[in-house]
Structure 1
Amino acid sequence: MPMIATVLPRAVLLSSLIFLGQLLLGTGAQAQVTAFKQAVAEAAAKDRDLAAFYQDNEFTGIWIGDSAADKARRVALFDAIRSAEDHGLPAARYDAEGLMAKLKSARSARDLGKAEVALSQVFLRLSRDMQTGVLVPGQVDDDIKRQVPYRERLSYLTNFVQSSPQAFFRALPPQSNEYARLMKEKLRLERLADRGGWGPAVPAEAVKPGQSGAAVTALRDRLVAMGFLDRSATQVYDENMLHAVQRFQLAHGLTPDGVAGPGTLAEINVPVQERLKSLIVAMERERWINMPLGERHILVNLTDFHARIIDDGAVSFETRVVIGKNTGDRRSPEFSDEMDHMVINPTWHVPRSIAVGEYLPKMKRNPNAVSHLRLYNSRGQQVSRGAVNFAAYNASNFPFSIKQPPSQSNALGLVKFMFPNKYNIYLHDTPAKDLFGREVRAYSHGCVRVQKPFELAYELLSKQETDPKRAFHSILDTGRETRVNLEEVVPVHIIYRTAFTQAKGPVQYRRDVYGRDGRIWDALDKAGVSLRAVQG
């Protein structure tokens, strides 16, 4: 494929395009031009955007010609096809060989007109794939609610003919540092895989400091190959290996105890091709958010169980979070929205699914169960438990709403952070602080619980209060539910990355807690994405 993509523009220039020039300059040139344009019109007719473009262009070609501009466009297109696999795109989808065959076999102006449109069709497909991804997220997983910033297809063609062709293609992929670093790591791991990967897997379920033997040697060699340990001839799990294991654990979201237990070894033994899949999926995901994220924005990475405030590309605040449990409808969705206020001393309005699914059965068994919760009728009036025959109700006819008033034990804690959305997802405090100490933190009903909610509030208020901590606590101390508007809204992006990067340090990998990245890879594989190196 690289050889074809490199040679094709010149081959075309010396054969089919010279042929076209001969047609246009020879006997009946006007008739040949008419035939070419008619073929373009017919071939483009089935695609509304292509038809509109060529109609506006009077059915003149932008590819099939011997002008410098046409040649530059052809070269840029085939260079972009050649680089498709670098971006984790399905190169076969753009069929460079098929395009070459059309051009080389052209024997008439009509043939060349059809080839002209074929080039534009591939151009449109490649441009959109490179800019906003191959897949439609919601078709892969219902919980990926992301609105991809698709551009009008016609705009690709109109902008292309007005631009430097090579510069146009360079500007299509995400221009983020994240995308550039993911791509760099992908290319690095492909080269590593060609040389045999990270070597043999560690043949043990666990390896502890002080041990020696074949498993320790395999662990040592694998850590060296991965870049977590300097070259060493040690046969013993010594202090240097312990620190290397800790570095590996930190880069994989594991508890950094320095012990290569079952969980750590499972991650150490993940082969190169699996990490390559994570990188390719992450690049596709980055294309789905190929838009300005905001000079200040909040990034919640579900697989990493962390939320971060990003200011001008740098992390200015971070906190651990708890996400939705991996069951039923409790998985946290992925989407973007804008945080515009926080509620201090919030009331918990129990979602109906929880009210009838969890609390109604308890109150049927014991009317005084979950006594910290209050019942309200449709007019907003509080209802006494003693006046209700809970046995008469089920999930479909239960007429009450359930609320928990502000308190230290409120399920939302003492503050919630709102970015109003139809999924009823937000960030909030929680009284269940012990869960933040766990390695895997997927326990909520879908919302995102924050370990350091007060500090998050201070940081958000710092843009509008001279003393944000004092301002926050002056409201908190009243005990009354209070809405505090943010003077500048903050974009919130809830993402899911099993591979992501840092400005410095190793690429980070996380477990596929909901299995979403596995489904994305399967969809990419079905679309034609492949691994260029698949050794262990």
Structure 2
Amino acid sequence: MIKNVKSIVISFILALFTLPVTVIAEETFQTEVQSRLDSLTEDTSYLKIDSQIIYSSPIITKLYQSNGYQLIWNNKLIPVLRKEILKLQDDGLNPDDYWLPSIDILLNKQQQGLLDISSSVDLDLLLSENFFRAYYNLLIGKVDPEALDKNFNFSQPFDRKDIRPKLIALLEDGKVEEILKQARPTHKRYDSLKNVLARYREYQNTGSWVTIQSGKTLRLGDKNTRISQVRAQLITTNDYIGTTENPELFDVELKTAVKHFQERHELDNDGVIGAKTLAEMNVSVEQRIDQLRINLERQRWYYHKLKGEFIAVDIAGFHVYWMKDNKLFWEAKSQVGKQFTQTPVFKDVIRYIDFNPTWTIPAGIKRRSILPNLKKDPEYLVKKGYLLLTMDGKEVDSTSIDWKSLNHIPYIIRQPAGPNNALGLVKFMFPNKHAVYLHDTNNKNYFSRTSRSFSAGCVRVDKPFDFAERLLADQDGWNREKIDAVIASGKTTRVNLKKPIKIVIGYSTAFIRDGNVFFRNDIYNRDSKLLTALNGPFKVRAQDRQN
């Protein structure tokens, strides 16, 4: 009997010391997490772990509240998240932004049983921040485009209140990979550009990128040791397909490959390797990798907005595209703004078309060009055929003004409609603060140039009447015959679109087309600032703080 009582007492004491351990640990973890999150105030809205700021504190708070402040990241989910973070390099992002070294130190301690409650909470919070940071960067990009360009007006919204329930539910189901996949742009061009980045990193790792020695211009029929270097490089870049018995001979197959390379790099595709072509061939693989990373970031800005039907202007690519459900419907060459009159990046909606348009000269052109010319020659406007009007539209004799006494032009200057009008015979209007639109031009010869930055900021479109005909295809009576008749009348005629169409004016220096990667010159010198920000520390956009 005494022996049985002793056994019961011993069992009770053992239970007292063993059973509560797990309960106390769970409660202590929960208490520690809740205590930290409850400490957040309007003045201290982000948690900090050492020097690391938990920018996702608001949504993390909701996440832990929803699961009773329990552990989020178990031994099954942690390897999945770690693998996904490493894969961000394929998107052109830097895994170092996601604190893997700090997390790995804590994971090693955890495996050795050396983590106390505070450090366990640190680890779980860091992993949560890690996940939401990756989601944020994939959804809207790492770099805030509006911080680089005040004209940018189509950032992807990140409304935490809207996405919280969905994200939390998926995360609680352990669907880490699925969530991050959904955050990426779904356009196939994004995936294709990722594949090219992987290929160029392979070139870098294997040392297969060739530097071609400088020397004289190379052309068909030449025989030179440098030609074998050219051939090797074009094989690497998938421009040359075939074999040759004489790698030092510039044969027809090599000329075809050179022309293909030139087309992809915005060069005159004459099949001759001159200074410009050689310079493009000798751009380092590291520079190309950066260029691909930069444009993957731009696609994270753009592609969430580019869905359905829209017009896309690629400034650096000098092209206009009409897309319908990810398929190219129509395209044309374009001319864009010069370096000092850059075409802005923004989105809008084309609402109407003006045939036989007049041109009201913008203030900037009046200041930079018109007034200096008038000071030299008071008859400048008369010779150009421009009208000088008061602000209420009354015509003024421009030769009666003492232009030398003025430092600005307090008048409207307008070019009448006609074949010599700077806007040509048709313009496509989406009224905006930049006074930028698409239009025909009387400088059509510039469309034959490879690089086409000639305008004062507007976008000049090749094949404008074809474009107008397609835009008006669903409007009764508007066919090419009627368009030609309206043009022939010389009368300014406005036609409102029954179906206004979205237009996005963007800027890309690397993109995929027909399975090939195309590189473009950075005509406005925008890539370097974006690369600096992309390689810089993680930041939350101003519009997303405190949500």
TM-score, normalized by the shorter chain, greater than 0.5: yes
Rate the CA distance shift 1:157–1:52 in 2: closer, same or farther, 3 A: closer
Q: Helix, strand or coil for the counterpart of 1:520?
A: helix
Provide Cα deviations, 1:397-451, integer angstroms capped at 9, x if missing partner: x321111111110111111111222221111111111211112111111111112
- How much has 1:61 moved relative to structure 2? 6.0
Partners of 1:72 and 1:161 in 2: how far apart? 17
Given that 1:345 and 1:414 are in contact with CA atoms closer than 8 Å, whether structure 2 keeps it comes out as yes
Match of 2:526 among 516, 520, 523: 516
Among 90, 95, 100, the residue aligned to 1:96: 100
One-letter amino acid of the structure 1 residue matched with residue 160 of structure 2: R
Instruction: Supply the distance in 1 between the matched residues of 2:419 and 2:312 (Cα, whole angstroms).
Output: 27
- Amino acid paired to 1:38: S
Structure 1 counterpart of 2:82: 78
- Between the aligned partners of 2:255 and 2:309, the Cα distance in structure 1 is 38
1:362: how far off? 1.4
Q: 2:411 aligns with which of 400, 416, 420?
A: 400
Supply the distance in 2 between the matched residues of 1:192 and 1:23 (Cα, whole angstroms): 58
User: Can you give the 5+ residue segments of structure 1 that lack an aligned partner in the other structure?
Assistant: 1-20, 529-536
Gap runs ≥5 in structure 2: 1-17, 47-54, 539-547
Partner of 1:113: 121
Matched, 1:34 2:31: yes
Contact kept in structure 1, 2:187 and 2:326, CA below 8 Å: no
1:338/1:491 contact within 8 Å kept: yes
Corresponding letter in the other structure for 1:495: G
CA distance in 1, matches of 2:83, 2:425: 56
Q: Shift in Å at residue 282 of structure 1?
A: 0.9
CA deviations 1:95-127 (Å, max 9, x no partner) are 122123345367444443343333332222221
Q: In the alignment, is the contact (CA less than 8 A) between 2:156 and 2:305 conserved in 1? A: no
> 181-190 or 201-210: which moved more?
201-210
Match of 2:244 among 215, 218, 232: 232
Structure 2 SS opposite 1:244: helix
Which one of the candidate residues 273, 277, 295 is aligned to 1:260?
Answer: 273
Q: Answer yes or no: is the 8 Å Cα contact 2:64–2:70 preserved in 1.
A: no
The one-character-per-residue Cα deviations of 1:26-60 (angstroms, maximum 9, x if unpaired) are 45865664344223433796239634653685374
The letter for the 2-side match of 1:417 is F
Contact 1:251 1:509 in 2 (8 A): yes
1:358 matches 2:366: no
Secondary structure in structure 1 of the residue aligned to 2:321: strand
Change (3 A) 1:166 1:155: farther
What does residue 260 of structure 2 align with? Answer: 247
How far did residue 522 of structure 1 move?
A: 2.6
Deviations 1:172-230 (A, max 9, x none): 11111110000011111111221113323243252122111112222122222222222
Q: Which amino acid aligns with 1:506?
A: N
- Shift in Å at residue 295 of structure 1? 2.1
| Comparing 257-266 and 36-45, the one that deviates more | 36-45
Tell me which residue corresponds to 1:149. 156
Q: 1:297/1:526 Cα in 2 relative to 1: closer, same or farther (>3 Å)? A: same
Name the residue aligned to 2:545.
Answer: none
Letter of the 2:131 partner, please give it: F
Counterpart code for 2:186: Q
Amino acid at match of 1:522: T
Greater Cα shift, 419-428 or 155-164: 155-164
In 2: Cα distance, 1:311 partner to 1:481 partner: 31
Query: Paired residue for 1:134?
Result: 142
Amino acid at match of 2:296: M
Question: The residue matched to 2:489 in structure 1 has which SS?
Answer: coil
CA distance, structure 1, for counterparts of residue 452 and residue 392 of structure 2: 38
Q: Name which of 385, 404, 411 aligns with 1:391.
A: 404
Contact 2:56–2:132 under 8 Å retained in 1: no
- Matches of 2:30 and 2:411, distance apart in 1: 75
How many Å apart are 1:64 and its aligned residue? 2.0
| Equivalence for 2:392 | 379
Instruction: After superposition, give the CA deviation of every residue in 1:322-380 in whole Å (9 maximum; x if it has no partner).
Output: 111112xx011111211111111111010011112211221222221132111111221
| Structure-1 separation of matches of 2:69 and 2:417 | 66
- What residue is the counterpart of 2:535 in the other structure? 525
Give the C-alpha shift of residue 157 in structure 1: 4.3
The whole-number CA distance in structure 2 between the counterparts of 1:22 and 1:349 is 84
Quote the residue 1:160 is aligned against. 167
Contact 2:307 2:326 in 1 (8 A): no
Q: Which amino acid aligns with 1:115?
A: L
1:286 aligned partner:
299
Corresponding letter in the other structure for 1:518: S
Percent identical: 27
Residue equivalent to 2:219:
208
Residue 140 of structure 1: CA displacement?
Answer: 3.0
8 Å contact from structure 1 (residues 40, 113) kept in 2: no
1:410 and 1:346 map into 2 onto residues whose CA distance is 8
CA distance in 1, matches of 2:125, 2:20: 19
Please state if 1:171 is matched with 2:170. Answer: no
SS in 1 for 2:335: strand
How large is the Cα RMSD of the aligned pairs? Answer: 2.7
Matched letter for residue 22 of structure 2: L
For 2:45, the equivalent position in structure 1 comes to 46
Distance 1:506 1:100, change over 3 A: same
Q: Assess, with a 3 A threshold, how the Cα gap between structure 1 residues 72 and 168 changes in structure 2: closer, same or farther.
A: farther
Quote the Cα distance in structure 2 between the aligned partners of 1:362 and 1:55. Answer: 64
